[in-house]
Amino acid sequence: MNIVVDTSVWSLVLRRDLVNERDAHVLTFRACVEAGHCLVLLGPILQELLDGLRSAKQFSRLLSVLEPIPMAPLDRGTFVLAARMRNECRNNGIQTGPTDFLIAAACVESGWPLLTADQDFQRIAASTGLVLIPCDD
């Protein structure tokens, strides 16, 4: 099964000096990898992960770790769906940024679940077809 791993979980696994191996999201990430699920990367997630790194060495290391993970293409329809989803959610009182909706739209469009630690996606999923991978907190 293909799954999209959100920036929030990648950060827990790759950007911390010390990974909390008991964190529910880290455990779920490791279980997905061990189960043989294919991790898929989206452009906005890659950009978020690489943004704000303190050194060129960190940037290169992270880029190298993520290099083998396939990237899912985003097309015009994905951006249109993201805007529709965001407008619909805003009308229902759900506010979050456009990047989150682009990630959600790509997941909905492809039928891939999202592994995330970001609570904004819980709200998006409650009003859309976004499927989240459950984590036992």
Contacts of 118 (CB under 8 A, 6+ apart): 6, 7, 8, 100
- Contact criterion met (CB below 8 Å) for 26 and 133: no
Look at the pTM and tell me if it is higher than 0.85.
yes
Q: How confident is the model at residue 103, as a pLDDT?
A: 98
The span from the CA of 72 to the CA of 103, in Å, is 11
In tens, the pLDDT along 7-50 reads 999 999 998 778 899 999 999 999 999 999 999 999 999 999 99
In tens, the pLDDT along 48-61 reads 999 988 899 999 99
The span from the CA of 78 to the CA of 32, in Å, is 25
Q: Which two tokens stand for residue 130?
A: 């976004």
Q: What is the CATH number of domain 2-127?
A: 3.40.50.1010
- Contact criterion met (CB below 8 Å) for 117 and 8: yes
